[in-house]
Amino acid sequence: MNSRHPITNSQTKPGKGAFRNPYKGFYSIWIRDFGSLSFLLVALLGLGLAVLTLLTKPEKVEVINLTLGMCILSVSATVAWQFIKLTASEHAALIPHYRKQVMVQAISVFILMSLICYIVFESTEQESIGTLMLFFSIGMGFIYVCLIKPQRFNLSVFVFVFIPLAPEVIVYLPEVIVSYLVLLPVLLGFLIDRQLLRLSWNDDARAIYLNGLETGWMIGPIAGQNRWFMKLSRYLHPASYFVGPMLGMILIVVPILSVAAIFLSAYMEADVPVLMVLSQLMIMVCCLIHWTRVQRWRAAETLYMLPSFSGKTGLVGQFFNSQLRLLMIVIAIMSLIVLLSAQFNSQISLMVGLHVVASTTWASGLALAFGAMSRSVLQVSSSMLIVIFSSVWLSTSLVTLREENAISLGYYWGDLGLLLLMAVLLVISRNKLWKNGVASL
């Protein structure tokens, strides 16, 4: 039976001018939380791709709709995660204005991103707003069901399945229903508001939050003791020790979803940025290795006590080798998906494919190297800048490919230089891992 206690503010009367800045602590609440940050990065990636497509190929409205959908659903998942964290935190009842602060920030983030998405959508001069409203309805519906039952957040991976399906659903809906679809987000907004007024501490939400805090929640539930996930986790041990079966789940499920997305985009004749999204997810997986290590640094002693290692040197050596195995898996996944994409896209030549794989490789390697050097949550969070840099690098090169049917030589030389830098930093990072002892960072 769940324990539920209303979240109430402290009885202490706030002084004059209290709660003047509801956005104070935004960085700590949203950016230092990997669960929130991972969804925000996906949302920004989708928005950036939508703007790039609008500026370069405005006639590709189906691509703009898909990337806007990715942005809206990712922001919705971020907001749902923050509400789950709010109901899971006892200090929400102790810190004055904390509850209101999180709600104001969450609503502001959702409204701001929604307005930007609407402006981008209107710039395409599409006649019907039905597709955008359907994405909003799915996203807000997901927030609502997570407020009612936090365990529904485990189904977030299925929410993203609607990204390629939503435009097809709109085509088959009667025009009368599409015209009234704009009312559904309004209704869901009213229901969410009522649910927020009754928000209370929830033991189920606490379980979800603690699980995500330790594993750097991304876009899917942990699959438990599935033997394939466990086998892959054992192969990547000890790098997978802090993450658990989730690492194997991501490395197996994400490529399967990518293959499905390639076939769907070929069937729909839509230019879905599968390689771009897959590349960023693979880099985030590598960031996850050291994020969880820093978050669960006390568990390193338990790892060290296992009979598999011959002292700290053996532990560091095996951890480094398991990182290299992870990097090889990332390269294999990207290579296979690039080869499959090339069958449906004539622009993906051998050199273009090598550029995509190389960009993902050096970014993943740098994420592992900087992560191994990190000694705090702030430092390991800063290593996430690699995701943004690689996103800009890869997206600009693919835009050049779309416009000029070729990628400039500078990108290939850049990949080569960054691969050499990655190799050097990986070797250096080996000696930085647990430099001060296993019992500390």
C-alpha distances (whole Å) from 291 to each of 77, 131, 229, 240, 383 are 20, 36, 20, 12, 10
The percent of residues in the chain predicted with pLDDT above 70, rounded, is 85
pLDDT reading at 151 higher than 90: no
The angle at the Cα of 82, spanning 79 to 85, to the nearest 5 degrees, equals 155
Top pLDDT among 243 and 436 is at 243
User: What is the distance between the alpha carbons of residues 256 and 281, in angstroms, rounded to a whole number?
Assistant: 13
pLDDT band at 10 (very low <50, low <70, confident <90, very high): very low
Asked if pLDDT for residue 218 goes beyond 50, the answer is no
pTM (global) more than 0.85: no
Q: Hey, which residues does 200 pair with through a beta bridge?
A: 6
What distance, in Å, lies between the first and last C-alpha atoms of the chain?
Answer: 38
What mean pLDDT do residues 78-102 have? 82
Q: Answer yes or no: is pLDDT of 11 > 60.
A: no
- Give the pLDDT confidence score for residue 141 in this predicted structure: 93
pLDDT band at 189 (very low <50, low <70, confident <90, very high): very high
Whether the per-residue pLDDT at 140 is higher than 80: the answer is yes
Q: State the Rg of the chain over Cα.
A: 22
> Of 99, 98, 45, 107, nearest to 70 (Cα)?
45
**Confidence band, pLDDT 50/70/90 cuts, at residue 137:** very high
Mean pLDDT of 77-84: 89
272-294: b (≥16 Cβ within 10 Å) or e: bbbbbbbbbbbbbbbbbbbbbbb
pLDDT band at 438 (very low <50, low <70, confident <90, very high): low
Average model confidence (pLDDT) across the chain:
81
Residue 148 has pLDDT above 80, yes or no: yes
pLDDT of residue 327: 96
What does the DSSP assignment read for 85-110? HHHH-GGGGTSTTHHHHHHHHHHHHH
pLDDT at site 365:
95
Report pLDDT for 51: 87
d(CA 98, CA 72): 25
More confident residue, 226 or 185: 185
Q: Which helix (H) or strand (E) holds 166?
A: helix 162-172
User: Model confidence at 34, in pLDDT bands (50, 70, 90)?
Assistant: low
- With a cut of 90, say whether residue 222 has pLDDT above it: no
* Mean pLDDT across 160-188: 80
User: Looking at residue 300, what is its pLDDT?
Assistant: 72
Greatest mean pLDDT range, 210-219, 230-239, 316-325: 316-325
- Predicted confidence at residue 421, as pLDDT, reads 96
Lowest average pLDDT, out of 154-158, 224-228, 262-266, 327-331, goes to 224-228
Mean pLDDT calculated for residue range 185-205: 86
Q: Which of 36-45, 67-76, 178-187 has the lowest mean pLDDT?
A: 36-45
Collapsing DSSP to helix, strand or coil, 288 comes out as helix
- Alpha carbon distance 268, 60 (integer Å): 13
Burial class (CB within 10 angstroms; exposed 0-12, middle 13-18, buried 19+) of 325 = middle
What would the pLDDT profile of 359-381 be if each residue is shown by its tens digit?
999 999 999 999 888 877 667 76
Question: pLDDT of 386-434, one tens digit each?
Answer: 877 887 788 788 878 877 888 888 999 999 999 999 999 999 998 888 7
- Return the pLDDT at 161: 66
State the Cα–Cα distance between residues 188 and 136, nearest whole angstrom. Answer: 10
Rounded to whole angstroms, how far apart are CA atoms 222 and 236?
Answer: 17
